[in-house]
Structure 1
Amino acid sequence: MPSGRHRASSPVERLLRRFRWRVSRRAAVAALTVPVVIAGGAVLYVRGTGGACSPRDPLIVRVAAAVDIAPPVMEAADRFNATDTGVDGRCVKVQVVEQPPAPVLRTLIGDRVGVLPERPDGWITDSSVWVRLARKQGARNLGADETVVATSPLVFATRRSLAERFAAGKTEMSWDMVFPATARGRLRPTESEPDVVRVPDPSVSGAGIATVAAARDLVGTGSEANKALTAFVRMAQAGAMPDYRTMLEAVYARGFWSRPVVIVPEQSVWAHNRGPVTEPVVALQPKEGTIHLDYPYVVTSDDPAKAKGAELFARWLRSAPVQDLLRRAGFRSADGSQAPFEPGGEIPTRAPKVLPSITPQLIDEALEAWGKLAPPSRILVLADVSEEGARPIGPDGQTRLGVAVKAAKLGLELFPNETHMGLWEFARGIAKGKDHRELISVGSISEPAHGQEIRRTEMLRVADSVRPLAGKSASLYDTILAGFRSLSAGYEPMMSNALLVLTYGQDDGRGISRQELAEALRKEWNPDRPVQIVVVMFGAGRDRAALEEAAAITNGEVYVARQPGEIIDVFLSAIARRLCHPTCPRQ
C-alpha cells in the first residue's frame, strides 16, 4: 500500500532545487499486493481490499506538508490509507512529502525557478500567510476554504539555566528585544536581558513572517519607526538561521553571545527536548502576547477526482483521533484551546495571550516592508580627499577626514556579508587625466577583490591610509556623475544599488555645474533600475543645496554628521527610505 511517509532531501528552502517522493519501506498489510513503479525506480505496493473501492487503480493524492508538521501528518496518512476511502470507486491513497513553504508557493504560482517537478494535490503550510500570498500572486485551482490542522504559538526559547537567570532577575520576554539595544535607547542590553534574540528567516518560515509583523506592530509607522524597523531587519538578517533545529542548537553556543534567545514555534521546543540534550530548552511566552502559527491545509489539485480525495483527507485531519495524534507530536489543537500532551516543565500549559493587533493587513504590510529592506546592498563609496579634509571639525580638534574615516569604518560593521561594496577617492587631478581613482572594485565584501584579503578587511586597511591631499580641490559634481554612471552600468536588479558620497560639501567649480549635474541625473535616472545617491557631509559645506537637489532626484538624501557615531543613524535612515520609494518626503 502507499505509505503516507515521504521525506524531502533537505529542509533548507533556499538551497532546495530538487524534489523527490521517497516511499517508505513498510511491509504490505494485506495478502494481495500490486507493485507499481514510480519516479526514480522506487516500488510501492497497493493493498487489495475487495471492498467498495478498487485496489487496482488507486487515486494517489500527494500532499506537501511543512517540515515540522510532516511527521504526524504522515502517520495520519497511513491511518487514512487503511480505511479504504474511495472516490468514484477508486481507493484514495495519500502520500505526504515534507517541504518548506516557499518552493510550494513558487510551484503554485507558476514560477520556473526553485519549483517542484510536480504540483501537489494538497498543501499544509505553517501559516495561512503563505496561502494568502499564493492567492494574491495568481495561484490557480486553490480550494476556496482552508482547514486549520493544528496550531503552535511563537515563543522565546533558551536553555533552562539561562531561563532561570532571567526569572531571578524578573526579566520577562518582550517583542522589543528583537530590536538592537541602540534602537531601545541604550548602547547594549543589561546583564539581566538577552544579549541577542535570533529570529527565523521570513523567506522560509511562517514564524519569521509573524516576527516581522510583531516588530512592525510594535514600532508603528513614521520615519523613526522605519529606522527602527530597518535596524530590526539588519539584526534579523545577521542572525537568521535556516531551520528551527539549528536555531535551538544555537542557545547552547558559548561564544560572542552569552545570553542567546531564539524565537521559534512552541512545538519545536517540544520536539527538541525529546532528543538527546544535555540541558532542556524552555519556552517563554512574551509579555505582550504572541502569534499562533495556524498550519492550514488547502486543496491545490487541478484534477477533480484528486481534489475530492484531498478534501476527504482534510476532514480526516480534523477528526478527534488525528487531533490527538498532533497533540502527541507537540502541537496545540486546531482551535488552540488544548495544549500538547506531556508538555513537560519546559512548555507552559496555559494558553498564551494572543496579540490582537496582528491582522492580515498588518502582516501584508510587514512582508512588503521586509521585501524592500531585506535585499542586500550594492554600494560604491566616494571618499573626498581634497584639502578641505584637513580642516578641523568641532571643538576636539578632529579633522573632517578623520571623522569621515572613523564613521566609514563604523558603518562598515553594519552591513552583512551579502553586501557588495567598492571604494573610490576623489580630488581634482588626483590621477593622470582623471579626477577620481578606484581603490577597491565593487564586489562582495566577504570575497577578495584580488589576492587573499577580503574586501571588508581591505576597506578597513585602506581607510586608515587615506589622507587629505594638500593643494587639491574637490571634483565633487564630476565624481558624483561618474560614480552614478558606473553603478547604473553595472546595476544589479536583486540588490539595492546606492552611491554613498562622503564629502565636505564643496565643489571647486572647475568641472560640470550644478545645473549640468541635475540635468544629467534627471535624464539618466531610471525608476526601473534605481540608483540612490546618499550624501554624508562632514561640516557645513557651501554646496549643500546642490547636493540635496542631486540626491532628491534619485530618492536619496543629504545628511550632516559631526561625530563618527552619527553614521549609524545615517545608514539606517538611508536604507529606510526604500520603504517610501519613489515618493519619500524630504527630511
Structure 2
Amino acid sequence: MGRHSLPDAPAPARTGARRGARPRALVLATGLVLTVAAGTVVALDSGLLPFGGPCDGEATRLDVAASPDIAPAIEAVAKSAREGATRTDGRCLDVKVTARAAHEIADAFGQRPVDPEFQVWIPDSSLWVDRVEAERGTPLTAAGTLASSPIALGAVPRAAKSLGWPAKTYTWTELTRATASGDALRLGVADPSHSATGLLSLARISAAHAKEAPDHVTADTRTAATARLLNQRVADGDGQAMATLPRDGSGKEQDNPRRNQALLLSEQAAFAHNTRADGGPDLDLIYPEGGTARLDYPYTLVDNSETGPEQSRAANRFMTLLSEPAGQRALRRHGFRAANGEADPKVVTTAGGRDPQPYSAAPAEPPAVKELQALMGMWTITVQSARLSTVVDASTSMGAPVPGHSGRSRMDLAKNSLLQALTTFTSDDEIGLWKFATTLDGDKDYVELSPTERLGGRDEDGSSHREALADAFRALAPQPQGATGLYDTTLAAYEEARSAYASGKFNALVIVTDGTNDDAHGIGLDALVGKLEKLSDPKRPVPLIALAIGPQADTSALDRIVKPTGGSTHLVSDPSQIHQVMLKAIMAAGSNGPR
C-alpha cells in the first residue's frame, strides 16, 4: 500500500544549537534536570515543585498510561514529586508513568473483561476517549485538559522554500493538493486508524472539501481521492512517520525516494525533531488556514473496580501538580502549548513557525464521533480496497413507479444509483452482482449476473470487469410474476461471500430489496438467523448491509438478519439516493472493522 516507515532509533536530545541552525530556546531533554551530589537531590529549576520531608514511610502508588509524546514531560513531574516527597493523604505520591500508544489502549478497552493496570490515561486526543465510550461502553472520565498542540505541515527547508514558506499560506485542501500530487514533493502522514494526528488532519481536509464542494457526494469523492494520495506514503504510527524524514541535510538523503520531505504532524512533534542532536534538517511549519486541528491531551480517570479512594485522591493530586505553573512549565519545555491553545513564542519558533503563518489561529470545532467513524470507514475501504457482493431484488414490485420521478420505476432509479456508486470504486476493488426473485432459476430464487472480481480485470470477451458489471446493472429488470425470495438468497449469497473472503480487503454483502420474503417453501427467518450466527467470524468479517426501499420493505426482519454479521439496515425512501446511502453504510461498517 505504499507505506514507508524506517526502523530508525530516536536520536539523543540536542544539548546546543547546531551550526547554522535557527535560534531556538534551550530545551532540556527531560524537562526537569536533577543532579545528585553526595546523595542530595537538587532541583535546577528552583520552585519547580515543593519539597517535603524524606519519603521513608508508606507511599500511594498511581499508575499512569500516557501517549509517547507527552510521557517524558509527565514522567519529569512524577520524578520531581517522588524526589520531593510530595504527599497525598499523608503518604508519599509514587507515580509510575508508562508510554503507550493511544490506539493500543483504545483497542485494549474493547477486550472483555476490561482490566486496565492503570488508574489514569493521558492520550494525545479526546477522540480516543470519545471512541472508547461510544464503541466500547467503558466508563471513563476526562477530568481536564493538560496541554495542546496544533497540527501543521512540517517540511524540510528545501521543500518549505518550494511552497513559499513562510510568506505563503494555504487552506487544508490547497496544502494537500500542493504536496500530494506527483512526486515533486513527498508528503507523509501517520495512519489515521492509529494516529490522532492523521485522523484529525483527514477530518479537517474533509471539512474543507464539504465547504468548497457543491454537494456532499462531490465532497466525499474528493476526500476519498485525497485519502488515496495520502495512503501512498502512510506510516503505521506517529513515530514511524517521523522516521521517514531525512536524517541529514545532504541532497542525496533528501532525494532518497524512501524519505519524505514533508509530514502532517503536531507542532510538538516538530519541536521534538528540531531539538534532537542528529534529527536531520530542521523542519519549517506551515499552519493551514480555515480552522486549526489540535491535540488536546485529556487527563482521563479510568473507572477500575480495584481503584481505592486513596488512589482516586492521588490521581486528583497528580493532576493538580501537572496543572500548576511548575507542571505547566515542564510541559512547555517539551514543546506543548497550554490547554487553551495559546501560542507560546519560544515553542512556535523552536518548532519552525514564523510570521505570517497563522500559528495563533483559533481551533476549529472538533469533529463528532459519528463524523470520525464515517471518516475511518472511508479510510478503511479506500486504503484496503473493497470486495462487495451486490444482490438486487428483481421481484415484480420493483417495477412500481416512484412518485415525483416522471413515472420511473424503483428498478430504474435503483440501477442508475448503483451505477453512480460504481464510479466511486477503484480498479483494485472487487464488485459483483446477483439478482433475485422467486423461481428465477428453476427452484432457485437467485442468479449471478456478474462475478465478484477486480474492476480493473478483464472478462472473457476482453472488456474490463467494470464495463461488464455496468452492462449487468443496466440490464436489471423486474421479473414478471416474481416474488421476493429474500431468505434463501441471503443465505446463499452470504455463504458465497464468506467462502470467497479476501484477506486485506474490506468484505461486505449488500442486499437491495423493496419487500418481504414471499417464498413459503424456503428457509424461515429463525433458521436463517441461526445459520448466519454460525457463519459469521469476527476475525474474517463480512457485514451484511441491507438497503430497504419503500414502505413495504420488511425492516424488522432485515434488522434480525444483519445483526449476527455486524451489518446494518438502512431505509431508503427514494431509490435514486441508494448510492449515497450505500456508500455511507459501507463507510460506517468499515469504521467498525479490525484495527
TM range, smaller chain: 0.5 to 0.7
State whether structure 2 residue 365 is matched by structure 1 residue 358.
yes
State whether structure 2 residue 193 is matched by structure 1 residue 203.
yes
Alignment of 1:244-263 (within 5 A): 244-250=238-244, 261-263=262-264
SS in 1 for 2:361: coil
- 1:422 Cα deviation from its structure 2 partner: 6.1
- 1:153 Cα deviation from its structure 2 partner: 0.7
Distance of aligned partners of 1:169 and 1:334 in 2 relative to their CA distance in 1, 3 Å threshold: closer
- 1:305 Cα deviation from its structure 2 partner: 0.7
Tell me the alpha carbon deviations over residues 207-246 of structure 1, each in whole angstroms, 9 at most, x when there is no partner.
2343344244331599932442354256437614322233
- 1:53, 1:84 within 8 Å by CA — same for their partners in 2? yes
**d(CA) in 2 for partners of 1:84, 1:243:** 37
Q: Which residue of 2 aligns with 1:70?
A: 71
- 1:308 Cα deviation from its structure 2 partner: 1.4
- 1:256 Cα deviation from its structure 2 partner: 8.4
Distance of aligned partners of 1:351 and 1:60 in 2 relative to their CA distance in 1, 3 Å threshold: farther
Distance of aligned partners of 1:375 and 1:178 in 2 relative to their CA distance in 1, 3 Å threshold: farther
Count of aligned pairs between the two proteins: 456
**d(CA) in 2 for partners of 1:166, 1:463:** 48
- 1:270, 1:347 within 8 Å by CA — same for their partners in 2? no
Distance of aligned partners of 1:345 and 1:55 in 2 relative to their CA distance in 1, 3 Å threshold: closer
Q: Which residue of 1 aligns with 2:219?
A: 228
- 1:261 Cα deviation from its structure 2 partner: 4.3
Percent of aligned positions that are identical: 19
SS in 2 for 1:154: strand
- 1:292 Cα deviation from its structure 2 partner: 2.6
- 2:510, 2:546 within 8 Å by CA — same for their partners in 1? yes
Q: Equivalent of 2:389, from 375, 380, 386?
A: 380
Tell me the alpha carbon deviations over residues 108-149 of structure 1, each in whole angstroms, 9 at most, x when there is no partner.
x66328x7x633121212123333445556433636x31x32
SS in 2 for 1:92: strand
State whether structure 2 residue 426 is matched by structure 1 residue 413.
yes
**d(CA) in 2 for partners of 1:168, 1:250:** 21
Distance of aligned partners of 1:456 and 1:315 in 2 relative to their CA distance in 1, 3 Å threshold: same
State whether structure 2 residue 146 is matched by structure 1 residue 156.
no
Alignment of 1:268-417 (within 5 A): 268-275=269-276, 276-300=278-302, 302-335=307-340, 336-341=342-347, 343-344=349-350, 346-348=352-354, 352-355=359-362, 357-359=364-366, 362-376=367-381, 377-380=386-389, 413=426
- 1:425 Cα deviation from its structure 2 partner: 9.3
State whether structure 2 residue 112 is matched by structure 1 residue 112.
yes
SS in 2 for 1:297: strand
Q: Which residue of 2 aligns with 1:575?
A: 583
Q: Which residue of 2 aligns with 1:508?
A: none
SS in 2 for 1:97: strand
- Extract unaligned runs of 5+ from structure 2: 1-8, 11-33, 41-50, 247-253, 393-418, 436-440, 534-542, 549-568, 590-595
Distance of aligned partners of 1:411 and 1:243 in 2 relative to their CA distance in 1, 3 Å threshold: same
Distance of aligned partners of 1:103 and 1:164 in 2 relative to their CA distance in 1, 3 Å threshold: same
- 1:423 Cα deviation from its structure 2 partner: 4.9
- Extract unaligned runs of 5+ from structure 1: 1-9, 12-25, 33-49, 182-187, 384-405, 443-454, 502-512, 535-552, 561-568, 582-587
Distance of aligned partners of 1:432 and 1:98 in 2 relative to their CA distance in 1, 3 Å threshold: same
- 2:67, 2:99 within 8 Å by CA — same for their partners in 1? yes
Tell me the alpha carbon deviations over residues 381-422 of structure 1, each in whole angstroms, 9 at most, x when there is no partner.
799xxxxxxxxxxxxxxxxxxxxxx9999866365xxx6x46
SS in 2 for 1:305: helix
SS in 2 for 1:71: helix
Q: Which residue of 2 aligns with 1:165?
A: 162
1:488 alignment partner AA: Y
**d(CA) in 2 for partners of 1:212, 1:491:** 31
Distance of aligned partners of 1:355 and 1:169 in 2 relative to their CA distance in 1, 3 Å threshold: closer
CA-based RMSD of the aligned residues comes to 5.9
Distance of aligned partners of 1:573 and 1:76 in 2 relative to their CA distance in 1, 3 Å threshold: same
- 2:421, 2:579 within 8 Å by CA — same for their partners in 1? no
For normalisation by structure 1, the TM-score amounts to 0.58
- 1:127, 1:295 within 8 Å by CA — same for their partners in 2? yes
- 1:575 Cα deviation from its structure 2 partner: 1.6
**d(CA) in 2 for partners of 1:124, 1:519:** 56
